[in-house]
């Protein structure tokens, strides 16, 4: 895998059908085969069968976008199926359901229960009093929705995990459920031109596709603008609060949110730049009320990255930070700390009149603000 000759501060498709195309290009024959067939390697691995990308034609195959919006170049997730990773799902399941130490974990998508070997695996693991998990996701059994009430809205979970437990008589039943969300990012502009460029390059250049992409990085950035950071936070914060609160229900094992490192970095201003407190187990705490539950927490935030330097393809997901938190703490930082910082002496609220004054100067230069007199 070699780096392209030209670097830029723009926004580039960084993974296409699971394989890297920026800032380096995967050159394995298997990557070209997957890209030609339009396969999703992550859905295919989860189901054990060849599955094509489910995205619309205009964004087909795009997993991540490389952008410098936070300063350094980072991958930003644009497809939640990119995080269909057995190790990550198993870690989340262990943290939410907290099985005994050394317990085996079986993870089977609901759509895979038609295969008798998957059902047997669940039966065996549950019978051994280990952790047997069935999970639901959009294309893997469908999303699970919470119905509305007169005082609360309907909402859906990205991934719902449910444990299967064996009774003393050996009979199987459903235990608690857990909530696992994955945060993607919206980008301004359109992916359509970049997708067309990649498909045309693959069709015209065949096995030379990697070298041609490496020589022409502009193909990957045409009409792709920056991430819509503020809008995504505003759109998802309310849902995060609801799902973290539902994670405290007696029948729920908890909730977890996985965010790319790029998104976590971009959210610091929206959370007031909170200081994380390290825990003895290697995780950290983001807590205002410091509530925990039997050594665990009602909610967890997983900060992950795609290891672009890896020689493994598709590049592996690497968890960089795991944070214990809860809905009340997030509300404190986002809705109390941030507004307090905005109205503090020297904060952004102090500068509003000076901004208005500059805007009005073209029409009425004599009209000065109180602060400038």
Top-confidence residue, 2 or 34: 34
- Going by pLDDT thresholds of 50, 70 and 90, the confidence category of residue 8 is low
Q: Is the pLDDT of residue 2 over 50?
A: no
> Is the Cβ–Cβ distance between 176 and 153 less than 8 Å?
no
pLDDT per position as a tens digit, 206-240: 999 999 999 999 999 999 999 999 888 988 899 99
| Separation between Cα atoms, residue 357 and residue 120, nearest integer Å | 72
For residues 161-168, give the mean pLDDT: 96
With b meaning 16 or more CB within 10 Å and e meaning fewer, what string describes 191-208? Answer: bbbbbebbbebbeeeeee
> For helices 192-205 and 29-37, what crossing angle results, to 10°?
120
Task: Return the beta strands (E) in 283-316 as ranges.
Answer: 284-285, 299-306
- Going by pLDDT thresholds of 50, 70 and 90, the confidence category of residue 5 is very low
| Separation between Cα atoms, residue 81 and residue 63, nearest integer Å | 8
pLDDT per position as a tens digit, 244-299: 999 999 999 999 999 999 999 999 999 999 999 999 999 999 988 655 554 567 89
**Tokens for 204?**
């015209």
Which CA distances in Å does 94 have to 104, 105, 127, 199, 356? 10, 8, 17, 40, 53
DSSP 3-state assignment of 183? coil
Cβ neighbours of residue 1 closer than 8 Å, sequence gap 6 or more: 20, 24, 25, 26, 27, 311
> Is the Cβ–Cβ distance between 190 and 225 less than 8 Å?
no
> Is the Cβ–Cβ distance between 83 and 63 less than 8 Å?
no
pLDDT per position as a tens digit, 340-369: 998 887 777 778 888 888 888 889 888 866
**Omega into 23 within 30° of 0, i.e. cis?**
yes
Please provide the size of the chain in residues.
Answer: 373
> Is the Cβ–Cβ distance between 190 and 224 less than 8 Å?
yes
Over its C-alpha atoms, the chain yields an Rg (Å, rounded) of 24
Q: What is the DSSP letter of 189?
A: E
Domain boundaries, the chain: 12-79+185-227, 81-183, 232-373
Q: Can you give the pLDDT at residue 362?
A: 86
Ranges of H-type helices in 98-250:
116-127, 192-205, 209-215, 229-246
Q: Can you give the pLDDT at residue 289?
A: 64
**Tokens for 81?**
């199926």
Q: Which residues pair with 52 in a beta bridge?
A: 39
> Is the Cβ–Cβ distance between 316 and 310 less than 8 Å?
yes
- Going by pLDDT thresholds of 50, 70 and 90, the confidence category of residue 371 is low
> Is the Cβ–Cβ distance between 175 and 162 less than 8 Å?
yes
> Is the Cβ–Cβ distance between 103 and 131 less than 8 Å?
yes
Top-confidence residue, 2 or 85: 85
Q: Can you give the pLDDT at residue 288?
A: 80
DSSP 3-state assignment of 317? strand
| Separation between Cα atoms, residue 50 and residue 62, nearest integer Å | 18
- Going by pLDDT thresholds of 50, 70 and 90, the confidence category of residue 372 is low
With b meaning 16 or more CB within 10 Å and e meaning fewer, what string describes 271-301? Answer: bbebeeeeeeeebbbbbbeeeeeeeebbbbb
**Tokens for 248?**
């405290």
> Is the Cβ–Cβ distance between 225 and 268 less than 8 Å?
no
| Separation between Cα atoms, residue 362 and residue 185, nearest integer Å | 38
Top-confidence residue, 355 or 97: 97
pLDDT per position as a tens digit, 99-151: 999 999 999 999 999 999 999 999 999 999 999 999 999 999 999 999 999 99
Query: What is the rounded end-to-end Cα distance, in angstroms, of the chain?
Result: 61
For residues 177-181, give the mean pLDDT: 98
Q: Can you give the pLDDT at residue 4?
A: 46
Q: Can you give the pLDDT at residue 342?
A: 87
Which CA distances in Å does 180 have to 140, 154, 196, 266, 297? 14, 17, 33, 21, 14
Q: Mean of the per-residue pLDDT values for the chain? A: 92
Is residue 319 classed exposed, middle or buried when 0-12, 13-18 and 19+ CB atoms within 10 A define those classes? middle
Q: Is the pLDDT of residue 6 over 50?
A: no
């Amino acid at each position: 895998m070699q780096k392209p000759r030209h670097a830029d501060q723009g926004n580039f498709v960084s993974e296409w059908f699971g394989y890297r195309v920026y800032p380096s290009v995967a050159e394995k024959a298997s990557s070209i085969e997957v890209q030609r067939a339009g396969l999703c390697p992550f859905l295919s691995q989860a189901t054990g069968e060849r599955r094509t990308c489910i995205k619309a034609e205009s964004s087909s195959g795009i997993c991540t976008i490389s952008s410098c919006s936070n300063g350094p170049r980072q991958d930003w997730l644009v497809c939640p199926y990119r995080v269909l990773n057995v190790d990550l799902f198993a870690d989340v399941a262990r943290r939410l359901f907290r099985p005994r130490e050394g317990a085996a974990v079986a993870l089977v998508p609901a759509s895979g229960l038609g295969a008798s070997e998957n059902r047997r695996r669940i039966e065996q693991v549950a019978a051994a009093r280990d952790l047997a998990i069935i999970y639901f996701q959009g294309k893997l059994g469908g999303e699970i929705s919470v119905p509305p009430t007169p005082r609360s809205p309907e909402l859906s979970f990205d991934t719902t995990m449910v444990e299967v437990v064996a009774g003393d008589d050996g009979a199987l039943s459903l235990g608690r459920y857990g909530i696992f969300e994955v945060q993607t990012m919206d980008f301004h502009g359109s992916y359509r031109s970049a997708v067309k460029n990649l498909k045309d390059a693959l069709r015209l250049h065949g096995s030379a596709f990697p070298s041609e992409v490496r020589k022409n990085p502009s193909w990957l950035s045409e009409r792709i603008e920056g991430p819509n950071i503020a809008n995504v936070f505003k759109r998802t914060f309310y849902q995060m609060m609801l799902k973290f609160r539902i994670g405290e229900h007696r029948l729920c094992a908890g909730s977890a949110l996985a965010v790319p490192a790029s998104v976590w970095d971009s959210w610091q201003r929206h959370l007031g730049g909170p200081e994380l407190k390290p825990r003895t187990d290697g995780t950290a705490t983001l807590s205002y009320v410091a509530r925990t539950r039997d050594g665990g927490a009602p909610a967890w935030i997983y900060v992950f990255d795609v290891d672009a330097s890896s020689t493994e393809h598709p590049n592996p997901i690497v968890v960089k930070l795991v944070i214990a938190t809860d809905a009340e703490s997030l509300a404190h930082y986002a809705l109390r700390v941030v507004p307090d910082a905005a109205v503090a002496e020297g904060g952004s609220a102090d500068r509003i009149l000076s901004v208005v004054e500059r805007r009005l100067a073209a029409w009425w230069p004599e009209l000065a603000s109180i602060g400038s007199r």
